[in-house]
A and B are shown apart, each in its own frame.
Chain A
């Protein structure tokens, strides 16, 4: 939760989580995110993990 409320881009995720310094063109990141979302948001009404289209992802309350 170090980056709670802040936007994390795909590139940042790839670099910091998988140590990849480029962006794969398939939606590997999206599928990782959707798996993560399935795990953390499954039992709650309000989603915690938000997708910002064309920008990246954000963890926290709705803006």
Chain B
């Protein structure tokens, strides 16, 4: 309980609530003080007017009647209405009333003053000393009349006001504290939810997600961002796992083959030529392996979004022209129909080396997996703000159901399986397209064959 409270008192919500409560209580105290002062002044004025009224009424009576009235009033007074009176002659002799002595400092000018009086209550033997507001006037016969307010009513009102003010202050402080604790606990509960999820994730369970409420508040916003981040991380980790699985599975085979060949050569003494031949083959195999590794690394880097470090704006048509020239000669050697139809210029943003590699990969595939009499066409056009690069062949094509799978790492078609190759060409081309904000898609060529389309956004000038 104590640690819980301490934890609670450390929450920023609690601190904020406490600070607000302090300000609130302070403001309330000031307001109550002002109210109290105003109330005091009002009470004083009320007393003053009541005393003045009583004094004027008594003064206006004929002398005989006045003396009787004062005597009766001084003797009767109920607890609440008690007033003290003194009617005296010109030479200071008490005619009627219960104030024993004319108070020092009170002049008969009709102005109310608060001062010390010596009074005697009806039916009592001794004098009391009290401090009360009093007013006095000089009478036509030269005598003086004094009227004083009773204690009680005034003090009661002040006390009540003070009590109410204190109660109000206490209550509002208590309310503020309660609100602070409530807010703090709520805050702590939601914070704990996120914190516990984070702990479970830290323990290795990436499938955990922070719970969100329907409130759409700052906690939900934070939770949403965290969840989006977690989804991204989970996908990245899954991708890493997939790559390492692929590496383990698909790179092991060529390595095993390589080792077998070396073992076979070393098994018995051979001519130097045989060793040279074996070494050359081993070097070629090693190079193939390195290429596969490079492609895997490139894909991983592209997917992590870190490979296009310094993008530049360049002419994709020029890049495509250079790459297709290389393959045009190859096509001529094979006697293959090869047509190239490129836009004059088409500026895109990114890395020319990557896009030329992507196009070369697509052309490599088309040349490798179709027989030499199959026509291949390359086209570059601008369409809807995208540079659209197509490599179209009229070979056997790939079943439509396999189109998406073919762009995954190490995916190989039926024709490709019997040939050399890493199975990474399309995956790398797709990663390059994605890294440039574009796409890569496979489609059937009308009349048979495969069309691979790579699109990247046209650079804005």
Q: How far is the CA of A28 from the CA of B329 in the complex (A)?
A: 8
Is B151 among interface residues, defined by CB-CB distance under 8 A? no
Interface string of A5-39 (1 = CB under 8 A from B): 00000000000001111111111100110110000
A18 touches B333 (CB 8 A): no
A35 touches B323 (CB 8 A): no
Shortest beta-carbon distance from B238 to chain A in Å: 28
B367 touches A26 (CB 8 A): yes
Most chain B beta carbons < 10 A, residue from A19, A22, A34: A22
Q: How far is the CA of A31 from the CA of B327 in the complex (A)?
A: 9
* Chain B residue, CB-CB nearest to A23: B291
Give the residues in chain B near A55, CB-CB below 8 Å: 283
* Chain A residue, CB-CB nearest to B357: A22
Q: How far is the CA of A42 from the CA of B83 in the complex (A)?
A: 144
Give the residues in chain B near A18, CB-CB below 8 Å: 322-323, 325-326
B353 touches A21 (CB 8 A): yes
Most chain B beta carbons < 10 A, residue from A19, A28, A32: A28
B353 touches A32 (CB 8 A): no
Is B280 among interface residues, defined by CB-CB distance under 8 A? yes
A31 touches B360 (CB 8 A): no
B364 touches A24 (CB 8 A): yes
B367 touches A31 (CB 8 A): no
Shortest beta-carbon distance from B272 to chain A in Å: 15
Q: A25-B364, A25-B368, A54-B284 are in contact. Are A20 and B329 (CB under 8 A)?
A: no
Shortest beta-carbon distance from B280 to chain A in Å: 4
Interface string of B310-349 (1 = CB under 8 A from A): 0000000000001101110110010000000000000000
A54 touches B368 (CB 8 A): no
Count A/B pairs, Cβ under 8 Å: 56
B279-310 interface (Cβ within 8 A of A): 280-281, 283-284, 287, 291, 294
Q: How far is the CA of A27 from the CA of B334 in the complex (A)?
A: 11
A20 touches B356 (CB 8 A): yes
Q: How far is the CA of A51 from the CA of B375 in the complex (A)?
A: 30
* Chain A residue, CB-CB nearest to B368: A26
Interface size on B, as a range, is 20 to 34
Shortest beta-carbon distance from B320 to chain A in Å: 12
Is A46 among interface residues, defined by CB-CB distance under 8 A? no
Is A2 among interface residues, defined by CB-CB distance under 8 A? no
Q: In the complex, which of the residues A19, A20, A23, A34 contacts B333, with contact meaning CB atoms closer than 8 Å? A: A34
Q: In the complex, which of the residues A19, A26, A34 contacts B364, with contact meaning CB atoms closer than 8 Å? A: A26
Q: How far is the CA of A53 from the CA of B360 in the complex (A)?
A: 23
A54 touches B326 (CB 8 A): no
Q: How far is the CA of A39 from the CA of B363 in the complex (A)?
A: 26
Give the residues in chain B near A53, CB-CB below 8 Å: 280
Give the residues in chain B near A26, CB-CB below 8 Å: 327, 330, 363-364, 367-368
Shortest beta-carbon distance from B422 to chain A in Å: 8
Is B350 among interface residues, defined by CB-CB distance under 8 A? no
B375-420 interface (Cβ within 8 A of A): 420
Chain A residues proximal to chain B, CB less than 8 Å = 18-28, 31-32, 34-35, 53-55
Q: A20-B360, A24-B364 are in contact. List 18 more A-B contacts (CB 8 A).
A: A18-B322, A21-B353, A22-B357, A23-B291, A25-B425, A26-B364, A26-B368, A28-B329, A31-B330, A31-B333, A32-B326, A32-B329, A34-B333, A35-B329, A35-B333, A54-B280, A54-B283, A54-B287
Chain B residues proximal to chain A, CB less than 8 Å = 280-281, 283-284, 287, 291, 294, 322-323, 325-327, 329-330, 333, 353, 356-357, 360, 363-364, 367-368, 420-421, 425
- 17 A-B pairs within 8 Å (CB atoms) are namely A18-B325, A20-B353, A20-B357, A20-B360, A22-B294, A24-B364, A25-B291, A25-B364, A26-B363, A26-B364, A28-B326, A28-B327, A28-B329, A32-B329, A35-B333, A54-B280, A54-B283
